[in-house]
Amino acid sequence: MKGLIGRKLGMTQIFNEKGVMIPVTVLEVGPCFVTQIKTPVNEGYAAIQLGFETVRERRLTRGERGHLDKTHTSPLRILREFRIDEAEVSDYRPGQKLLADLFSEGDLVDVVGISKGKGFQGGVKRHGFNRQPKTHGASDRTRAPGSAGAGSTPGRVYKGKRGPGHMGHERVTVQNLRVALVDPTRNLLAVRGAVPGPKNGLITVAAARKKAR
């Protein structure tokens, strides 16, 4: 499973080959460097570790520097791992540079990001609870969560009962987004549709795990 690390730049619209305007999210992906290749022999599974965004050397701990020195890559801020097939291990070599042209137009990808934080939200916004009546004698109950369960039996609120709480700022995967545009010179990728997270939010793009019909 090939993948890249990048940042979300924002959304715009482009014309596709049929002349139809489609909404796209533009992602700046890579350059990513292969910082480690995990093999079934050494680690028990096959994966590649990619690094993204060069930083000044003193921003890294000695442990991080030592790890990157093994592949002779420049200091990198972000490291992420992508599982690959055992047969694909030979496709990668340490220190290899991966760019946006890893993907081509029409590919299906899964994009992972950290969704925008919404703070502490009530049940209506967070879980889609129904509102209660605004009229007919109801007061101050419009967006209240209602009952949390039965009375003496069971005499407690069930675990996992949905309620108000912190919303957003969690890892979200969007599957099967179609790559609408690849710009290898500037390392830009445009995928059709929305991608979780704020502008400049860190995202990972990987080949789709489940192929859409």
Q: Would you tell me which residues interact with another protein (CB under 8 A)? A: 9-10, 12-15, 19, 21, 26, 28, 181, 183, 186, 188, 190, 199-200
Nearer to another protein among residue 18 and residue 136 (C-beta): 18
| Shortest separation between residue 64's beta carbon and another protein, angstroms | 28
**Which bin fits 44, alpha (ψ -120 to 50), beta or left (φ > 0)?**
left
| Shortest separation between residue 13's beta carbon and another protein, angstroms | 5
Q: Are 150 and 69 in contact (CB under 8 A)?
A: no
Nearer to another protein among residue 12 and residue 173 (C-beta): 12
**What DSSP element (H or E) covers 69?**
helix 62-69
Nearer to another protein among residue 79 and residue 202 (C-beta): 202
| Shortest separation between residue 125's beta carbon and another protein, angstroms | 28
d(CA 191, CA 130): 34
| Shortest separation between residue 6's beta carbon and another protein, angstroms | 11
Nearer to another protein among residue 14 and residue 207 (C-beta): 14
Establish whether the linkage from the previous residue to 23 is cis, with ω within 30° of 0.
Answer: no
Paired residues of 4 in beta bridges: 205
Cα–Cα–Cα angle for 13, 29, 93, nearest 5°? Answer: 150
